[in-house]
Amino acid sequence: MRILHTMLRVGDLDKSLAFYTEVLGMRLLRRNDYPEGKFTLAFVGYEDEKDGAVIELPHNWGVSQYELGTAYGHIALAVDDAGAACADIKARGGKVIREAGPMKGGTTVIAFVEDPDGYKIELIERK
């Protein structure tokens, strides 16, 4: 077994696709409209689906916002330099909600960014 994807419902698919592709540098792997079901599915990632886990971004037509709930935490991405990644994300119009620095009670350098729907994404510096 392996993880295939994580699904995050989005209110504005174009905004979300711009964030994940232009700000975080992922690729749009596939996008399909389902007119009978009134929804669109888009998949983004750094690798092809056969090679790694991806993010599924479903957009239900006519729904522009979701409650995130209290159980959701975040998606984590490995980066070489969390400070440089934050600067790059800000330059591309992304929102950094916690600047790069050591995690509380530890030494691992982390940062957090937020996508257009409010989903949190942790950047973990890997040396």
Helices and strands of the chain, counted as H and E runs? 2, 8
The residue annotated as part of the active site, out of 47, 49, 122, 125, is 122
Residue 70 burial class via C-beta count within 10 angstroms: exposed 0-12, middle 13-18, buried 19 and up: exposed
Q: Are strands 5-7 and 54-60 parallel, antiparallel or unpaired?
A: parallel
DSSP class per residue in 39-88? EEEEEEESS-TTTS-EEEEEEETT-------SS---EEEEES-HHHHHHH
Task: Tell me, yes or no, if 47 is annotated catalytic.
Answer: no
Active site residue ranges: 122
